[in-house]
Structure 1
C-alpha cells in the first residue's frame, strides 16, 4: 500500500508539473473563472472568451498588459481642426497673422488685414515646413506654432508706411495704358504695355459700399473736386465707374487702413498721385481685380 501511495504521489506531481509547463508556454495571464469554479474539475473558459475582470483579490494587470490603443487615422471620423482664420476674412487678427508670417519669412508684403490667396499660400507653406495639415487656413495648432516663433508685432509692423509689394498683374493689364488696381495687395500700378511706370498704396470701399471690380476706362478727370454726395474733398480725381474714382484721401493718409472709402480707390501719397494725374488720359483702361 505504501509503494502504491508513493507511485500515485509521483504521478500527481508530474501531472501538476505538466500543467504548469503548458501554462508557462502559453504565456497565460489572469483568466476568468470557469463554470466549475477554481477547483473541483470545472472547465476553464477558452482564451477567446476571456472578457471579465480578474477575480477579487487577484493582481491588477499593469499598463503593459493592456492592448495598445489604435492609432488615429484620417478616416476615423475625427473632425478637422476648427479654422480660426481663412479665405475671405478681413480683420485685425488677419493683419497680425500677416505681420507674424512676415517676421518668419513667409509673407513678403505689408499686412493688409485681408485673407486672400497670397495669405493662404503663405500659411500652406508654413504648415508644410512644420509637418502640419496643409489646409491653407489657420487652426489653433498652426497659430500656436507661429506665435511661439515670432514676437508681438509693433504698430509699424502692423501698418507700415512703406509701399505694399505689387501683386502679379491681371492679364488685362498687360497691354496699353492701364491703371492696374489689386484688391489683394492693395496697390495701384500705372502700367504701359506691360511695364510698371509707378505704383502706390490704395484703399477701397467697405462691405456696405464696395469698390466695383472689372474692366473700365477713365471717363473724366478733375484736379479739384468735392463729392456731391458726401461733401468731402476728392483731389486728383479720375472717375472710372459712375461716381467711383481714383483720388487722394487725407483720411487714408492719416488713418491708413483703419478706415475705408465709400467705393472710391483712395491714394495716400499725394505727390505720386499728382504726377500720375498728369500722365493719365481719359479713355485709359482701369482694371480692378483681386
Structure 2
C-alpha cells in the first residue's frame, strides 16, 4: 500500500502548487462625436466596456484621463488611442482616427482688374487628388485638384478691391485674402496712321471710377496734348506730317485701387518706302527698328541698304513677305512689335534661326542685335550647339568677310550677297556692312545655337 499513498501525495502536491488562471483583458470600445471636419475640430471621445480606468493619448502630444474626454484638434490627421486598465491590472487598447481639415491661401498683393491671377495654397492634412474651390465672395471662381502634400495652384479673375477670396473643401474655409487692384486700361488708335488720314487715341479705364486718368502725348520730344478725366478719354492727333507720337497714360487710383500706367506709340507715315526714300517717315522707321534692336548702320532719314536689310529681318521674323520695302501691313505690325525673346538663356551667345533666316546676338538673357542671314542652300548648315574656335578678320581667299568659325568649315561671315532665303554653301552669311560689328561681339568660345 505504501507506493499508492506516495503517488496520491505527489498528485495533491502538484495541484497545490499550480498557478492561478489569468483574468481576461477588459473589453473596450471608443467613439468620437466627429471623426472629420474643419479645423479647429472639437471632438468628444467616449470609451466604454468592462469596469476599468482609462488613459488617453490624443495623438497630438496631449493626454487625458477618464471615459469621456473633449479635445480640440488643429489641422492634421491624428490617432486618438485609449488604454483601459482592469482592477486586476490587465490592459487593452482601442483607437479612432481624427481628420481635422485646414486650408491656406496665398496670392500676389496686387492684381489687374479682370486679370487671371495665380493663387496657391495647401490642404492639411496633405490629401492628394481632392478638388479645392476658389471663391470670390460666395461666387465659385475656379477649382483645382490637390497635388502631393495637399498643395494646389489655380487661377481666378480679379474683381473689385472689396472682393474677398477664400478656398474651401468639405466645410473647411481658408483665411480670407484681399488684393489691391490695378485698373484695366483699354487703349486704341483709330485710323491707319497714314499721312493725311484721320487719327485719334481712345483710352478707357475698367471699371469706371477706378481713378483719375491723365493722358500725355509727345511728338518729336515735345508735349502736344494732355487730358485728365475718368471713364473714357479721346484725343485727336494731327497727321499733316510724318512723325511718331509717344503716349503715357497714368491713373491716380481711387481707394482700394493701385496706381497704374501704360506707354504706347503710333507712327504717322508714308506707307510705301524703299531704297532711296528720304525724310521723316524714314527716320521714324529707322528709330523704331533701332529700338527693337534690328541692326542698322545709322538713323539718318535715308533708306539705304542697311535700312532695307533691317526691314527684311523684321519681315522674316514676323512672317511677312521677305522684301526690303514697307507697306501698310508692315507698319501695323511694326507698331505692335516688341523685342523678341531668345530661345536659350544663359551668358552671351549667338542664335541662328534657319526657319526665319535671322541671327540673334544675346547678352544678359536679352536679344541685343537682330541680323538677316542666308544659311545653306541644301539645308546643310548643321543644327546643334557649337562654339567659335577660329576667327579671321577681313577677307579670306573665299571672299568671306570677318569670319567666326563654329564647326568644321562653317562660319558666320559677311558676304556680298545675302538673299532672303537659304543660298550659301552651309555658312551663315550676313550683310557686308554689319559683319565687322558682329565679329567684334563674338569671342573665342562663344556658344552658337543653330536651330
Please report the TM-score for the alignment, with normalisation by the length of structure 2: 0.26
| Greater strand fraction, Structure 1 or Structure 2 | 2
Question: Using CA pairs below 8 Å that are at least 6 residues apart, which structure has the higher relative contact order?
Answer: 1
In our comparison, the structure showing a higher alpha carbon Rg is: 2
Q: TM-score, normalised by structure 1?
A: 0.39
